[in-house]
């Protein structure tokens, strides 16, 4: 008996021909999986389609589109034990990259057909589901500047162009970071809280690796003194990510915790899984084992903690997390 799945397909994702993409997916999967195909529209997004599929009692969901489509579908599955298959067709494809899933249609379909299910963490950010990461400051400003038109025209280059533009307006802010055990006050240019993140999400790469099934969040603080320092820090993080080494600059700090709250002065924009959701403060909590995803087997690297060297840093012990 063939397996059945709801295929949620975003026809406007990426730069390829959506009709050809859908035909390729059907050709590869239909011989072994009975597909119920649902297309996203401006009125009905992937999250709503996924919720409706869950209510119908679907056995598996396959999402095809950019990171926004994939995250929205995944968010609907948190806590359900329904496996999610991922076919990335977006600009950044950070979701697939973070989980080691091929970013080609052929490779992704092979993972769905031959891969294994793996239980991974999810998270909540200000009550909203989070699969990848929340970025405060520089990353949020960069994502906002990379609009849909530029992404359609330039692809990944749109983010690089937006980052260069944002460097011209680089600014720092005071951040108060609270975990179950610490209260940290630091002057920063970017604060990133990651549940899962690929190497290309460089502002999340303070640790030696982002572990997406350890029940913890990974926080990276980038605190350069000026634009030159910001460029050097970003380059160092990129090198660290691809080498698998933890960051060693004094203006980069990181830690791991189950729950992290960030308050800033002045308030900073926040990007959540690629979408601007407002401004700080944010309260992020890990949801251990919240998602079941079809993934290849990957090796993991245990990250460390480093806070020493950050400018204007204060750290105080905190025996218990305080709710407001």
- Report the distance separating Cα 141 and Cα 99, nearest Å: 25
Q: Are 311 and 301 in contact (CB under 8 A)?
A: no
Residue 184 lies in a domain: yes
Q: In the predicted model, is pLDDT for residue 293 greater than 90?
A: yes
Average pLDDT over residues 48-54: 96
Confidence category of residue 313, pLDDT binned at 50, 70, 90: low
Residue 170 lies in a domain: yes
Q: In the predicted model, is pLDDT for residue 156 greater than 70?
A: no
The total number of structural domains in the chain stands at 2
CATH number of the domain enclosing 26: 3.40.50.10330
Q: What is the mean pLDDT of the chain?
A: 84
Average pLDDT over residues 287-299: 84
For the stretch 194-216, pLDDT in tens is 999 887 787 888 887 788 899 99
Q: Are 276 and 269 in contact (CB under 8 A)?
A: yes
Residue 324 lies in a domain: no
Residue 80 lies in a domain: yes
Domain of residue 203: give its range.
Answer: 128-289+300-317
Residue 322 lies in a domain: no
3-state secondary structure of 41: coil
Give the percent of the chain with pLDDT over 70. Answer: 81
Which stretches of the chain are DSSP H helices? Answer: 18-29, 46-55, 67-77, 94-98, 105-114, 138-145, 148-154, 157-167, 227-243
Count the Cβ atoms, other than its own, within 10 Å of residue 171.
12
Residue 11 lies in a domain: yes
pLDDT for 265:
96
**Do both 59 and 171 map to the same domain?**
no
**Do both 44 and 93 map to the same domain?**
yes
**Do both 175 and 83 map to the same domain?**
no
**Do both 108 and 147 map to the same domain?**
no
Residue 225 lies in a domain: yes
Residue 119 lies in a domain: no
Question: pTM for the full model?
Answer: 0.79
Q: Are 249 and 242 in contact (CB under 8 A)?
A: no
**Do both 174 and 284 map to the same domain?**
yes
**Do both 138 and 61 map to the same domain?**
no
For the stretch 102-150, pLDDT in tens is 989 999 999 999 999 999 999 999 988 888 999 998 777 666 545 545 5
Q: Are 205 and 112 in contact (CB under 8 A)?
A: no
**Do both 159 and 307 map to the same domain?**
yes
Average pLDDT over residues 81-89: 95
Average pLDDT over residues 35-61: 95
């Amino acid at each position: 008996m063939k397996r059945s799945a709801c295929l949620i397909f975003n026809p406007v994702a990426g730069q390829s021909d959506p009709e050809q993409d859908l035909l390729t997916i059907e050709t590869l999967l239909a011989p072994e999986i009975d597909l119920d195909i649902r297309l996203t529209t401006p009125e009905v997004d992937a999250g709503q389609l996924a919720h409706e599929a869950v209510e119908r009692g679907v056995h598996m969901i396959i999402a095809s589109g950019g990171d926004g489509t994939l995250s929205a579908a995944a968010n609907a599955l948190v806590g359900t034990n329904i496996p999610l298959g991922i076919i990335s067709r977006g600009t950044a494809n950070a979701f697939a990259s973070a989980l080691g899933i091929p970013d080609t249609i052929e490779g992704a379909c092979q993972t769905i057909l031959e891969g294994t299910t793996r239980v991974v963490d999810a998270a909540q950010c200000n009550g909203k589901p989070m699969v990848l990461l929340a970025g405060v400051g520089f990353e949020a400003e960069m994502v906002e500047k990379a609009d849909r038109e530029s992404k359609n025209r330039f692809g990944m280059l749109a983010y690089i162009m937006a980052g260069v533009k944002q460097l011209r307006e680089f600014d720092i802010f005071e951040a108060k970071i609270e975990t179950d055990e610490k209260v940290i006050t630091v002057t920063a240019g970017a604060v990133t809280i990651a549940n899962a993140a690929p190497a290309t999400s460089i502002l999340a790469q303070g640790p030696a690796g982002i572990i997406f099934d350890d029940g913890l969040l990974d926080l990276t603080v980038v605190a350069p003194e000026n634009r030159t320092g910001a460029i050097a820090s970003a380059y160092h993080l990129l090198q660290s990510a691809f080498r698998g080494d933890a960051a060693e600059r004094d203006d980069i700090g990181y830690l791991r915790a189950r729950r992290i709250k960030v308050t800033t002065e002045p308030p900073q924009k926040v990007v959540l899984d690629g979408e601007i959701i407002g401004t700080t403060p944010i309260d992020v909590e890990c949801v251990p084992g919240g998602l079941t995803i079809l993934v290849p087997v990957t090796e993991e690297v245990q990250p460390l903690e480093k806070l020493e060297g950050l400018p204007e840093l204060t750290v105080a012990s905190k025996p218990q997390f305080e709710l407001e």
